[in-house]
Every structure is written in C-alpha cells, then in structure tokens.
Amino acid sequence: MGNSSPNQTIKAIFTVIRIIVGWHFLYQGISKLMIPEWSSFSYLMESKWLLSGFFHWIATNPEALKLVDLINIWGLILIGLLLMLGLFRRMASIGGIFLLLIYYIANPPFIESSFPSQGQYFIVNLNIIESGILLIFTVLPDYYFWGLDQIIHINLKRKKERIFPEIENRSTPETDLTGRRELIKNLASIPVLGLAFFGFAKKYNWFSYEEDQMATIDARTSATNLSTRQVNLDQLEDQVPMGKIKHLDISRIIPGGNLVAGFAHARDLVYVSRLIKNYFTDEKVIETLWIYEACGINTTVMRTDENTVRILEKYWKRGGKIQWLAQTYPRDDDFSNIQLAIDHGAIGAFVMGGIADRLVFENRLDDLAKPIEFIRSNGLIAGTAGHAIQVPMICVEKGIETDFFMKTFHHDQYWSTHPEENRQEFMHNISYNRLERNQFNDNMWCPSAEVVSDFFKSCEIPWIAYKVLAAGSIHPSDGFQYAFEHGADFVCAGMFDFQIIENANIVHNILSGDLNRTRKWNT
C-alpha cells in the first residue's frame, strides 16, 4: 500500500467491519457472563484433535478451569470493547486471533462434535474467517480507521510539535520512520521484534565516490553521488563473534564514538563535524545502538562527558544492553573525568591516546600509571590508547599494569598516505607549530605497521586496534582483514547506522574464514 491516506469511504468500511467484529466478541463475552453456571468444561472435554490431552487436563482441574473461564469471558469482553472503540486495535486483534485459534484447535469443524461449528464449511468456519479479518486489522495503519487510536496519535503529534517545532517541521528523509522509531523503545527486551523493526527501517545517506573506488584510483577531484541504502537486518549473515578482556565478553568489532560525539577527521572540510552533530540526534544515537545490538555488537567506545552520559542513560532505561568503554581525560591528579565514567555505568576506561602520547613523550610515566591504577581499583577494566608504539612498549617495560591496549594500526597502501620520509611516531602529540607545514598531514595514524605487529607478537595483553581504516581511506574489508591478520584482538571503527550491517558481515566472514593470523588470540 502507498503512503497516501485512503479515501473516506474505505476508511468508513474498515471502521464498520471493526465495530461489527468487536460487537461479536463483546456479545459472546457478556452472554457467558450473564449465565452464572456457564463453563468451558464441556467444550474442552469434547476436544478430539491437537492438544486434546491438555484441554482435558484443564477441564478436570478445578483451579485451571476457573482461570480459563475467567480469561475466556473477560478476554472476549475486553477485546470486543477495544475493537469497537478503536483503542489498542493491534493488541486487541492479536488477542482475538489467539482466542479464536484456541477455539478452532479444541473443536475443528472437520471432526464430529456435539458442539456445532458456526459457519461450518468443512475446514473453514467462522473462527477462521474472523481470524483472517483480525489479521488484516493488525497490519493496517491507524489512518485506515476512525477510532481512539487515531485521536490519541493526532493529539500526541500536536503536543510534540508544540514542544519541538524546530525538529518536527524540518524536511528530512526520516519522516516516515518517526512512528516506527518510537516503537523500538518498547522492543528493547525482545530481539526478534527488534530485528523485524530494523528490517523495515529505510535510511538515506551520502555515498562518496571515494568509498566506492578507494585504494584503486585517485579520487581527489571526484563528485559525490546521492544514493539510498536500507538498514535491513535480513542482510545480516550472522552475529559478530565475541572475545574476552578479563571476565567481560566484548564483540570483536567495537564502534568508535567520534561520530556520535561530533568529531570527524574531515581534514579541511570544516562543516563536517557540525553536520555529524545535527545527524546524530539523541534518537538517532539510540537507534544506532539498537542496530549494534541486533548485529551482536555489545560494546562501544564513547568519550566521557555529560552528553554521552545523558544519551546512554536514556538508552539503558529503555532496556538497552550495550556496554560502555569510556575514553577518559585525566589531568595530573585530577581523575574527576574518570569518576564520571565510573559513576555512570562504564565497564572499562582508558586514557585517551593523545594524552598518553604526550605523557610518554615527556617521560611523565607516573601521570600515566596513576589513572590506569585508579580505574582498576574501582573494578573496571583499564587500559591506555596511543598513536605512538612507545606507549604500550613503555607500559610493558616499566610494569604499568593494563588490562588492554588500544593502538592505532593500518597499512600505508592508500593514495593519500603520509610521505614515508616525514613520518614521526609522536607527530600527533607534538604541537603542530613544532613541525614544518609540509611535514604533517592529517591522514596517517600508524607510521610503521610492521613495528606495531612485531611488538604485539610477544605481548599477551589484549590489543584493540583503532584508526584501522585511516579515517575512511581504507575499505573495511581491507582494513579489518589487515588488523586481525597482524595480531589485533579487536578492531575499533567509527560507523554510521547504514554501515553497521556491512561491517558486521565483514568481521564475521573474516573471522569465520581462513585467517592467516600472525599472533595467537589473547582473549
């Protein structure tokens, strides 16, 4: 069916049919209620088909029979009232189908019984016909009916428009999904329904020429094509595999938090961070977390700030289960930022890579060791990130205990890679004005992948590789494969909602295939 509303005649017809079916349910329930001695005993004892033994047990068990009679009478009355009023129509229709199918199974029309089947047509009787009508009621949208559901929906929409006029009045490709996105709030603990929801959710996105052609051509002068892509979990091949850091199960791919936080390595495209912040509204972030869960991704890295805490608490209150690995920013002996993560549900925390780089570069090792120990003493898994390989090297050499390392890791086989003669391990923690302008390009985060891989071959501490795609310069199938083959236990990558399923499939296929890994799994 199209998105346009039906004409008033069709709307009236469906409404009348709904009221007629509702009246039938209501009458059946009231008629049973008005007969003091009414019981379903005889009907259940007459059962000779599927589940007949169960029906006979109910009939011969006084307490069970009493409960079934109450459910029967008041179920019919409640379903009838709701259908007549047009309130909770889908829920009432599903309840009606359940009752009718029980009636049918207990005494089908093709088995001889002392209870005459209404509308007897051998296999099809009134129960089956009415079930078919109710099934239609469950799939039709509210605007095919008049009723209280529609009145409530209109009033809620008007109220929301008064509260958020600047959001609701924007023209956006997501308009048709507003109602469905709200539905997912109630599906948090029912993964199967969550999958069905996302199977129907459609998203629009910008798909760059570089993404399609990366690593094969120089795309510097390319145009950008507008395309559409569905978030469709039917395309998910399997759940993302798990590893362990200490006692915690962690998905082998961990989404990064830069996109949600509004930070992007967009180089000279100064508008991109603001664009991302406008795209990732609270509801978009929460929806993205649901997609992670549906794909088997159970952990995400996010920066530690009030915005992250606010969104995660809203998501967890709806039943979300994603674990938060917190990126923290300690300063000298001030661990308040780490405490914020501890107080708000983080399962682990690490020192931000730029901070750790600078501390190692300046030989302030106590200032790196203290926050890591503070994290561990509070029962969280603790680690440090680093762009420079010296960060994990020094930690191991000096006995700074960590539960995991995060280290940038990617190859240099892409067209915009930093010139080899200008690469420096600490280029990301030295003030830019200490380097000549032509010595630093914001397009490389792992100056020597071979050195990194060699170090981790002899290191038994779990390793999360990040910046594995070099800020979108390397295709995920290439970047993930390279990271896992060269020793990474996990990969961390920022991704939009429309990239999650593809990335999950890539990781699953890599890890379930013939992986030429150079390091044993350390989780």
Least confident of 81-85, 115-119, 224-228, 497-501: 224-228
Torsion of CA 214, 468, 321, 206, to 10 degrees: -20
Q: What are 300-315's pLDDT values in tens digits?
A: 999 999 999 999 999 9
If DSSP codes are grouped into helix, strand and coil, which group holds residue 53?
helix
Nearest to 408 by CA among 495, 512, 486: 486
Residue 110's pLDDT is 83
Task: Name the helix (H) or strand (E) containing 408.
Answer: strand 404-408
Question: What DSSP state is assigned to residue 410?
Answer: -
Least confident of 174-188, 356-370, 418-432: 174-188
Q: What are 125-137's pLDDT values in tens digits?
A: 888 899 999 999 9
88 in Cβ contact with 82 (< 8 Å): yes
283 in Cβ contact with 181 (< 8 Å): yes
**Domain boundaries defined on the chain:** 8-148, 240-512
Give residue 41's pLDDT band: very low, low, confident or very high (50, 70, 90): confident
Entry pTM: 0.59
If DSSP codes are grouped into helix, strand and coil, which group holds residue 450?
helix
Phi–psi pair at 415, nearest 5 degrees: -65, -30
Q: What are 276-288's pLDDT values in tens digits?
A: 888 888 888 988 9
Q: Which whole-number Å values give the CA distances from 366 to 221, 352, 371, 377, 395, in the listed order?
A: 48, 16, 9, 16, 11
Nearest to 26 by CA among 122, 115, 99, 90: 99
Residue 187's pLDDT is 38
- Topology (CATH level 3) of domain 240-512: TIM Barrel (3.20.20)
Which residue did the predictor score with more confidence, 302 or 294? 302
